[in-house]
Amino acid sequence: QKEVEQNSGPLSVPEGAIASLNCTYSDRGSQSFFWYRQYSGKSPELIMFIYSNGDKEDGRFTAQLNKASQYVSLLIRDSQPSDSATYLCAASPNTGNQFYFGTGTSLTVIP
């Protein structure tokens, strides 16, 4: 079983704070990792992907990957109420393109 685990939350942060979302995965063959955002009643949309150890920044979002610890995280700086959504972590091997999704973390940003 190739599991991806996330804390389901809910996670609440005040507007302007840093939100930290975490994900662990069981399959050491996983090579690429993705963070999707899903608003209620909508489909998932990609925020970031990462496949090298370390940090990757894109605007207010930073993805962090530690393959030795099998750990992926997403930091959202200067959180906004519009960031309130469920965040899905996904892992994929380098071939085959099958994604394994976590159950998602619900984030609420309080104005």
Partner 1 sequence: DAGITQSPRHKVTETGTPVTLRCHQTENHRYMYWYRQDPGHGLRLIHYSYGVKDTDKGEVSDGYSVSRSKTEDFLLTLESATSSQTSVYFCATSPTSRGENEQFFGPGTRLTVL
**Amino acid symbol at 14:** P
Query: How do strand 54-58 and strand 61-66 relate by DSSP bridges?
Result: antiparallel
Provide, rounded to whole angstroms, the least separation between the CB of residue 24 and partner 1: 14
- The dihedral built from the CA positions of residue 95, 96, 97 and 100, taken in this order, carries a sign that is negative
Q: Is 99 in the site for partner 1 (CB under 8 A)?
A: yes
How far apart CA 54 and CA 12 sit, in angstroms, is 26
Cβ within 8 Å of residue 95, ≥6 positions away:
none
Residue from 14, 42, 55, 77 touching partner 1 (CB under 8 A): that is 42
Interacting residues with partner 1 between 6 and 35 (CB under 8 A): 31-32, 34
Q: Is 45 in the site for partner 1 (CB under 8 A)?
A: yes
Residue 40 or 111 with smaller CB distance to partner 1: 40
Match 């925020």 to its residue by tokens.
47
Q: Is 101 in the site for partner 1 (CB under 8 A)?
A: yes
Interface segment toward partner 1; rule CB under 8 A; list 20-28, 60-68, 70-78, 91-99: 91-99
